[in-house]
Structure 1
Amino acid sequence: MNLSFNILPIVQKEFRQIRRDVRGLLLLLLMPSFLLIMVGYALNFDVKHISLGFYCEDKSQASIRFIESFKHTEYFNVSIDINNRRDIDILLEEGTILAAIVIPNDFSKNIYSGREAVVQIIIDGANANTAATALGYIKTAVQNYSTKILIDNLTKQGIKFTTPVNPQPRLWYNPELKSSKFLIPGLFGMILMLVAVVSTSLSIVREKEQGTMEQIIVSPLKSHEIIVGKTIPYLLISLIATTFVLIMSALMFDVKIEGSIFLFYLATILFLLGALGQGLLISTFAKTQAVAFIVSILSSLLPTFLLSGFIFSIKNMPWWLQAITHIIPAKYYLVAVRAVMVKGVGMAAFGEQLVFLLIFCSLILVISTARMHKDISR
C-alpha cells in the first residue's frame, strides 16, 4: 500500500508532463502506426509482376501459345516483344525487364516432331533473391506448358496419362504465402522496442537537463519507487499505441490475431517492460538527449532489425552471431507474437520465450534500479 501511495505522485507528474507536450504524446501514440504502414508497404518479399520480355524467332502457333501461358498469371508482366536479340542486353541494363526468354526458330518443329525444344532464359542477377525467385517461377511455367503438351499428345494417341507422384500441398497458417503475414508481426517488435526505449531515455535525460530530476532525487522516494513511477505511464501509453498498431495491421494488411489476445498482450507487456527498463538504464548513463537518442537507436533498433529473426534467418548466421542473438529480447518476442498472430497456438508453443522475456525485464529493471540508487546516493 505504501508503495502505491509513494509512486502515485510520480505517476501523476509524468502524466502531467506528457499531457503538456501534446506533440510528443501524439508522436508516441501515432508514430508506431505510421511506421507500421510505411515499413509494412515498403518491405514486401512477394515477387510478382515480373517484367518479362520475349525474343521469338519462331512465328508459329506453338510459340504464341507458349508466350500466352505466361500472360494469365499475376507473377509475370509480359509487355515487351523484343525484335532484336541485341536489345535484350539494353533492356536488362536499363532495368526495363528483369528477364528475357529466347525462343529459337526450330521451337515448333521440335515440339511437333517429339524432340526437346530448348528455350534460353536470361535473367538480371544483380538482386540474387529476386532473380532466384523469378527463375523458379519461369521454370515452373515452362514445366506446366511442357506437361500440357505431353498430355495433349498422349491423349491424341488414346493413351491415358497419369503422373507417378501427384503432390497435394497443404499450406498451414498462411495459405496464400503472403509475406505480410510474416513481416507485420515482426514489425511489432522493432517498432515497440524503438518507441519504448527512446521515449523513456529522452524523458529522464530531459528532466536532468531541466533540473527537475534533482527534485525527485532529493525526495524520500526510493530508487525502485522512482523506476516504477517512471515506467507505468509509458507502459500504458505503449499499450495504447500497441492497440492502434493492431487495428492498423488488421485494416491495412489483413493481419489479425488468430490466437489468444490475452497471450499477445502478456508477451507484449513483458517485452515493453524490458524495453522501458533499457531506456531507463540508458538515461542513467547519458548526460544529454543527443547521447541518449543515439545510444537508444544503436541498442534497440539495430539489434532488433538485424539479430532478432525479423528479416534475416538466424540459422543462416555465423555461429558467433547466433550466440549474440540469445540475448536479444526481440528474438523471443517475435517467436511469441508470430505464434499467437499467425499460427493461433497456445502458450505451450512459446512458453520458453515468455520465461526469457520475464527474466530479461526483471534483470534490466533491477540493474536500472541499482543505477538509479547510485545516482540518488551521490
Structure 2
Amino acid sequence: MGIWALTIKDIRIILQDRGALYTLLALPVVFIAILGVSTGQLLSTRDELKLIKIGLVDEDKTELSEQVYHDLSMIGGLKVDKISTRDDAAIRLQDGRSGIVIVLGKDFDDRVEELDLSDVFDAQNGKLSQGVEALDMQVLSGASYVGVSDLVEYVVLSAVLKVVSPEVVRRNPLLRRLIDRMKERHAEDALPKPPVIAVVKSGSSIIYQTLVPAFIVMFAFFLVNIMASSFISERQLGTLKRMQTTRITPSQLLCGKTLPFLLISIAQSSLLFLSGKIMFGMSWGTYPFLLIPVIITTAVSATGLGLLLATFVRTESQVASYSTFLVVVLAGISGCYMPRDWLPELMKTVSLGTPHAWALIAYQELLTHPHPSLNVVGECCLMLLGFGVIAFILGWIRFRKLEYHI
C-alpha cells in the first residue's frame, strides 16, 4: 500500500463520514451565512449597505428646511428619510434603522434670518460658535456613531451652512449682484459634464474583508479534531498496526494519512472564500492568485498541528478536550475573534507565536491594501510553512517512538 492508496482510502472514509464533512465544510459556510444575516448583508441590497442612514425631523416646515433635506439627500453615501416626530426618531435610533437623526426645530428659519455675514465668515466667534444649537438644531447619534458624535455634528453643521450661507449673503445688495453675475457667467461657460459618481467606501465591506478571512483561518484549524480522531479510529480498528507490518515506511504512512486532510483543508478555505464572494460581494484583492499560496501554507500548518496532536491523544474524549482547547485558545490569541488592529501591542507580539496570526496578516495585506507588500505575504507564507514542517517533524518523531518503539 503506497501513499496515494492511503490518501484515497482516507478521502473515501471522510466523504462517507457526514459528521466530519459537516464540521469541515458545511459548518463554516453556515457560520458565515449567520454572520451575514446578523449584519443584514443577506437581507439587504449591497447599495443600501453602503449608505449612512440619516433620519430628518422637520419641525420648521419651511422652504429653507426643505432645501436642507434636498441637499442632504443629494450627498453621495447618505440615505436621508423624513421622520414625523422626535419620539419616532428616538425609536429609529434605538433599533438601528437610523444611524444619525437631525432635528430642525420650529425656529430654524428664524434663527437663519438672525445671522449676518460676520456669523458665517467668523463662525468661531459669532452666533454659530454654539454649533448646531444656534440654528435650533439637534444632531443625535446612534450606537454606531456615539464615539464620533462631535465629528458628526460638525459635518452636519457644515452641510447645513452650505444651504444657509447663500441665504445670508443675498441680504447684502452688493454681494447679491456679484453672485448673480457670477452665476450668469458660469451658465454661459458651462459645458455638459459627465455625471459625478460618488464612490463610497463601504464600512461593511471592510468588516467582511477582515472577519471572513478570520473565520476561514479559525475553521482551517478545526481540522486537527478530525485528523486526531482518524488516528484514534485506526488504532481502535487495528488497521494502523496492520499497515505497520507492510513494507510502507513510517514517513510514507504519515504522508498518506496527512495528505487527504491537506487537500480537504485547501478545499475548505477555497469554498469559504467563494461563499464570502457570493454572500457579501467581498473582494479577493488586487492579486487574487496570491491567495493560493496563503491558503496552501495555512493548510500545511493546520495539518502539521493536527498530526502532532494525534500523537498526544489516545481516546476520543482527549481529542475533544485537547483539540477544542487548542483551537479556541489559538484563535483567541491570534485575533480571529476580532480585527488584529484592536489587539494591544503586547498581544500582537505574543500572537506571532501562532500560525493563525501569520495567516491573518497575509490575508489582511492581500484583501485590505490596494497595493499589498509581496515581501510581507512571502514572509507570512514562509512562517506558515515553517510551523507546518516543524509540527510534522515533531509528530513524525513521536509517531516512530510510540507506534514503532524506535
Identity %: 18
Q: What is the CA deviation profile of residues 35-67 of structure 1, one whole-angstrom value per residue up to 9, with x for unaligned ones?
A: 4433345457968564746373x4433334435
Matched, 1:107 2:103: no
Q: Structure 1 residue 366: deviation in Å?
A: 1.5
Contact kept? 1:235, 1:272, Cα under 8 Å: yes
1:121-140 equivalence runs, <5 A: 121-124=139-142, 127=143, 129-132=144-147, 136-137=151-152, 139-140=154-155
Q: CA deviation at 1:312?
A: 2.6
- SS of corresponding position for 2:338: coil
What's the counterpart of residue 164 of structure 1? none
Among candidates 168, 174, 188, match of residue 216 of structure 2: 188
Cα distance in 2 between the residues matched to 1:36 and 1:305: 18
Q: Which residue in the other structure is 1:328 paired with?
A: 354
Letter in 2 for 1:113: E
Specify whether residues 313 and 13 from structure 1 end up closer, same or farther in structure 2 by C-alpha distance, changes over 3 A only: closer
Decide whether aligned partners of structure 1 residues 15 and 89 sit closer, same or farther in structure 2, where only a CA change above 3 A counts: closer
User: What's the offset of the Cα at 1:306?
Assistant: 5.5
Q: 1:352 aligns with which of 379, 396, 406?
A: 379
Change (3 A) 1:372 1:344: farther
Distance, in Å, in 2 between the alignment partners of 1:350 and 1:344 is 12
TM-score between both structures, scaled by the size of structure 1: 0.75
Q: CA deviation at 1:271?
A: 0.9
1:80 — aligned with what? 83
8 Å CA contact 2:68–2:163 kept in 1: the answer is no
**How far does residue 209 in structure 1 lie from its aligned partner after superposition?**
4.3
326-335 vs 6-15, which moves further: 6-15
Unaligned runs of 5+ in 1: 162-170
For the residues of structure 1 that align with 2:38 and 2:94, how far apart are their CA atoms?
A: 24
Say what the alpha-carbon RMSD is for the aligned residues. Answer: 3.9
Residue 214 of structure 1, CA deviation: 3.9
Summarize the Cα distance change of 1:317–1:21 in structure 2 as closer, same or farther, 3 Å threshold.
closer
Instruction: State the AA in 1 paired with 2:354.
Output: I
How far off its partner does 1:272 sit?
0.6
Residue identity in the other structure for 1:119: M
Say if 2:102 and 2:140, in contact at 8 Å, map to a contact too.
Answer: yes
Question: By how many angstroms is 1:104 displaced?
Answer: 3.9
Equivalent-residue separation in structure 1 for 2:297 and 2:264 (angstroms):
15
CA separation in 1, counterparts of 2:150 and 2:23? 44
* Aligned amino acid, residue 351 of structure 1: G
| Moved >6 Å (runs of 4+) | 44-47, 87-97
Letter in 2 for 1:324: V
CA contact (8 A) 1:307 1:325 kept: yes
The size of the alignment, in residue pairs, is: 356
Worse-matched range after superposition: 324-333 or 203-212:
203-212
Measure the CA separation in 2 of the matches of 1:321 and 1:6.
44
Correspondence for 1:246: 273
Pairing 1:269-280 to 2, within 5 Å after superposition: 269-280=296-307
Greater alpha carbon shift after TM alignment, 245-254 vs 213-222 = 213-222
Q: Contact (CA 8 Å) 1:40, 1:184: kept in 2 or not? A: no
| Distance change >3 Å, CA 40–CA 203, structure 1 → 2 | farther
1:47/1:6 CA distance change after superposition, 3 Å? same
Match of 2:157 among 116, 137, 142: 142
331-340 or 207-216, larger mean C-alpha shift: 207-216
Secondary structure in 1 aligned to 2:228? helix
- Report the CA distance between 1:291 and its aligned residue: 3.5
Match of 1:165 in 2: none
Equivalent residue for 1:206, pick from 233, 236, 245:
233
After TM superposition, list the pairs within 5 Å mapping 1:221-260 onto structure 2.
221-260=248-287
Question: 1:168 corresponds to which residue?
Answer: none
**Other structure's SS at 2:311 match:** helix
Greater gyration radius: 2
